[in-house]
Amino acid sequence: MLRILLFLATNAAIMVVITLLFNILGIGGILDAQGVNLDLKGLLVVSAVVGIGGSFISLAISKWMAKRSMGVQIIERPGNQTEQWLVNTVTRQAKESGIGMPEVGIFNNPTPNAFATGMSRNNALVAVSTGLLQAMSQDEVEAVVGHEISHVANGDMITMSLMQGVVNTFVYFLASIVGFLVDRVVLKNERGLGMGYYISQMIAQIALSFLASALVMWFSRYREFKADKGGANLAGRQKMINALKALQRGHEAEDLPGEFAAFGINGGSMRSFF
């Protein structure tokens, strides 16, 4: 609930800043002079539906997508000692963290990696790669699992979705403003929305998304450090240190697809970006 309140407050604050900026730069007057009666509040609502809606739909189906796109096999009944140990480790750490028991899965990938996803703290999935189980010791795997359990316990999935939703909302919002300016002011189109609007809006979305991704990456990096700390608390400080060193010694991991990359313990998207 606190995250949602902060999210709403952030949206309101940004809307105030944008309104003031429009008044200072006289953008509203320019659009009015061209006969464009732009409803900023209405455009913001549409942008929120597009941006936030897409982000939360992605989160809602993330477990299903992980199973389908990455071939994550859920451990229903442990088939060997390794699977039994993995389930026991997740069970113990989830209990210590005060969250519901996540689904536990393994995906076939030679690179040591792991991720967590799911709609809430009590409806999550923790998955590890076959490469992680083969290349790292049990102590190191325990620390990696603790890292992912900490993501779940910290509510990072919903937090990152809110963050991405805000970013998506205002990227779409500002890109639409650019589209209106190009279509009506530069190209002097007076009949509906022309191709100038759609082309310039698309280009603006790409440019703004690239800039906004730096903010999302910075925030994700901050959450990664917190998850490292949580993993150290659950598995032990030295185990976490050894796990991070083992990941560093290995070959650079391929990025996990889509939203799974945000909470992958290994990969170029977050750990090597800075």
Catalytically active residues, by annotation: 148
Question: What is the rounded CA–CA span in Å between residue 227 and residue 71?
Answer: 25
**Parallel, antiparallel, or unpaired: how do β-strands 123-129 and 103-107 relate?**
parallel
What are the structure tokens assigned to 69, written together? 């796109």
Beta partners for residue 103, in sequence order: 125
Cα distances from 68 to residues 64, 122, 125, in angstroms, run 6, 21, 13
- Helix axes of 138-153 and 81-97: crossing angle, nearest 10 degrees: 40
The b/e string for 151-179 (b: 16+ C-beta within 10 A; e otherwise) is bbbbbbbbbbbbbbbbbbbbbbbbbbbbb
